[in-house]
Amino acid sequence: MVRHLTKISDFTKKECDFIIHKAIEMKKTPEKFYATLQHKTMLMIFEKPSLRTRVSFETGLNQLGGHAIYYSIKDSPLGKKENIADTARCASRYVDIIGARVFKRQDVWNLAQYSDVPVINMLDDFAHPCQILCDFQTILEKKGRLENLKLSYFGDAYNNVTYDLMRIAAIYGLEMDVACPTGGEYSPEQGVLNEIAKLSEKSDAKVRVVHDALEAAKESDVLYTDSWMSYGIPFDQEEARKKVFMPFQVNQKVLSSAKTDAIFMNCLPAMRGYEQTAEVIDGPQSIVFDQAENRLHAQKAIILFLLNKL
């Protein structure tokens, strides 16, 4: 059966653990894996911009002996003369694995439904699973454990990265506070809250939505934030969003309310003075560039896992 990665909960805890440990091994001894994807090709469909995702996937494929094709939706007949099902059926006759960064979750689901090869969600409006596996690899490297942790998230919670962070916190049985403004356009969708409740039944996770940044930061081991202006949000909303989210900015006061050895994470891109201050992101508790590096290692492990090469 072909496996896909559309959101982090497509994988079990055991599978996440396996991939994270493989990623750490691949980071230490990359040469052991140099020939694993010889003559294999990945198609990467992009509808939104990217630095980290595009460059880390292309580099990763190259390091494994394979090849990645960057394919912009702007250059494709998709949505004009062709539907996503035909794109998936044709592309999977050529390539071994497909990645997609698109606006709508339904497009990733349709690709997965019609593709004969694994499909990886490289970010849509519902999930960013590659980011989240890299984040957990980084937390394990920094904290030495993935249990008994409190995570806190600040800012825009109607958000792909937030959703997958909540899912993985629920999968691992962690405590997590999501601090966001009130109002449906800034808080998690009910469907996601239902998913989290279901996942938490098994793991005994405690994932809460709160509306106070200091309360969320309290006793936290990991503070995480993401852009207030996710890809696709119109620029004319920037000033209004800045006002709404400012009480959830990760600044020194928020960071100081967490545990003294807490780490600060941001999937990037980041705007200093917006979702966090420069003092925080450029300060000693920030691990954002180690986090960004791990995209490369985690994604190499994800691809090999989906292609049954591990």
* Residues forming the active site: 101, 128, 131, 226, 267, 295
226 binds ligand NVA (CB under 6 A): yes
DSSP secondary structure string, 187-217?
S--HHHHHHHHHHHHHH--EEEEES-HHHHH
- Pairing state between β 97-101 and 119-121: parallel
CB atoms under 10 Å from CB of 141, counted, come to: 16
Q: Which stretch binds ligand CP (CB under 6 A): 23-31, 76-84, 92-100, 262-270?
A: 262-270
Question: In whole angstroms, how close is the CB of 219 to ligand CP at the nearest point?
Answer: 27
State the minimum distance, in angstroms, from the CB of residue 269 to ligand NVA: 7
Shortest Cβ distance from residue 121 to ligand CP (Å)?
Answer: 11
> For ligand NVA, how many residues bind (rule: CB under 6 A)?
9
Say how far apart CA 157 and CA 165 lie, in whole Å.
Answer: 10
Query: Quick one: how far is CA 20 from the chain centroid?
Result: 14
**Which one among 43, 108, 267, 292 touches ligand NVA, defined by CB under 6 A?**
267
Q: In what order do the strands lie in the sheet with 150-154?
A: 206-210, 175-179, 150-154, 222-225, 263-266
Using the contact rule CB under 6 A, the part of the chain among 31-39, 50-58, 141-149, 241-249 near ligand CP is 50-58
Q: Which of 87, 159, 266, 294 binds ligand NVA (CB under 6 A)?
A: 159
Q: Which of residues 20-39 bind ligand CP (CB under 6 A)?
A: none
The residue within the footprint of ligand NVA, chosen from 41, 59, 203, 230 (CB under 6 A), is 230
Interface residue with ligand CP among 88, 255, 267, 301 (CB under 6 A) is: 267
Asked if 103 is part of the footprint of ligand NVA (rule: CB under 6 A), the reply reads no
Give one word for 37, left, alpha or beta, with left for phi > 0 and alpha for psi -120 to 50: alpha
What one-character DSSP code corresponds to residue 1?
-
Question: Closest separation between CB of residue 274 and ligand NVA, Å?
Answer: 13
Alpha carbons 292 and 287: distance in angstroms, whole number: 9
Of the candidate residues 152, 160, 200, 257, the single one contacting ligand NVA (CB under 6 A): 160
Q: Are 220 and 264 in contact (CB under 8 A)?
A: no
Cβ atoms 224, 193 nearer than 8 A: no
257 binds ligand NVA (CB under 6 A): no
Does residue 161 touch ligand NVA according to CB under 6 A? yes
Footprint of ligand CP (CB under 6 A): 50-53, 123, 131, 267-269
